[in-house]
Amino acid sequence: MSKTMRIALIQMDIEVGRVEANFARLASLLREAAAASPKPDVIVAPEMWNTGYALTEIRTLADPDGERTRAEISAFAREHRVNVIAGSIAERRSDRGGDVTNTVYGFDREGREIVEYAKIHLFQLMDEHLHLAAGDKPGRFALEEVPAGVMICYDIRFPELARKLALDGAKVLFVPAEWPHPRLHHWRTLLQARAIENQMYIIACNRSGTSGETRFFGHSMVIDPWGEVIAEAGEEADILYADIDLALADEVRGRIPVFADRRPSVYE
């Protein structure tokens, strides 16, 4: 039986350190996406959209325990009857002594929280490890009874994490990101590899625009379980729409039984 979903990816510019402007911009784009015809089932936002990579100010700018993000996105999801994978935010955690994590929240059509995931792999080339605390739990959840997972940006360089989510049953993997020039080839290749080797959909939402001297190339994309790119944005701010059929993951896994042919005892 098919399980078709329409996805909307919000490829937005992010103003570094300007929290109010970023909240307002995302709110406007969420409303635009929800008003599309046909209406999407799931809306996805990019990485660290509330603050950008304002790492030296991140403790001051971060959302305390994600309270504002959770309240506003939950209310939006409930009002518009749409699932939202709310990208990721800089979140100041009271349960971790005020440390800041790069955290994804997701909400169902009732506004109920369905996933919280803190980025596990911190990107040392951007000094993330000096300003952010790493998560330690994979981001698995159910999206309308469909097993799903979430990873953030640099995480896609670690195939073990995507495979763990696939082994737990995930048929679709969401990837909010701030992936910059000049590594477009890496972005596209890694995402397609994660789709092919795990026989799952990849829903990757990258930011656009510039931050200081860093330019972000967008190219948000939806990749099917064969590794085929079925929708891809350009470099400018945009909302990308795509329809996916989760039954294809089962079909691909049935035709090429990768998981049945694994030999974990040899790898370990």
Q: Summarize pLDDT for 87-140 with one digit per residue, the tens.
A: 999 999 999 999 999 999 999 999 999 999 999 999 988 889 999 999 999 999
Active-site annotation holds for 205: no
Domain of residue 17, CATH code: 3.60.110.10
Alpha carbon distance 50, 30 (integer Å): 14
Give the DSSP H/E element, type plus range, for residue 26: helix 19-34
For 53-79, letters b (16+ CB in 10 Å) and e give bbbeebeebbbeebeebbeebbebbbe
Which listed residue (153, 171, 178, 205) is catalytic? 153
Is residue 117 one of the residues assigned to a domain?
A: yes
Which listed residue (116, 119, 128, 171) is catalytic? 119
What pLDDT score was predicted for residue 2? 62
Q: Which amino acid is at 136?
A: D
Active-site annotation holds for 137: no
Domain extent for 182 = 4-254
Active-site annotation holds for 153: yes
Is residue 179 one of the residues assigned to a domain?
A: yes
What pLDDT score was predicted for residue 212? 87
Statement: the pTM of the whole predicted model exceeds 0.95? yes
How many structural domains are present in the chain? Answer: 1
**pLDDT of 158 strictly over 50:** yes
Tokens of 12: 């937005």
Is residue 9 one of the residues assigned to a domain?
A: yes
Distance in Å from the first CA to the final CA of the chain = 37
**pLDDT of 61 strictly over 70:** yes
Region 137-160: mean pLDDT is 97
Which listed residue (3, 47, 116, 178) is catalytic? 47
Is residue 263 one of the residues assigned to a domain?
A: no
Is residue 143 one of the residues assigned to a domain?
A: yes
The answer to whether the beta carbons of residues 190 and 221 sit under 8 Å apart is no
Is residue 165 one of the residues assigned to a domain?
A: yes
**pLDDT of 175 strictly over 70:** yes
Is residue 38 one of the residues assigned to a domain?
A: yes
**pLDDT of 1 strictly over 50:** no
Region 176-190: mean pLDDT is 97
Is residue 265 one of the residues assigned to a domain?
A: no
What is the DSSP secondary-structure string of 173-208? EEEEE--BTT-HHHHHHHHHHHHHHHT-EEEEEE-E
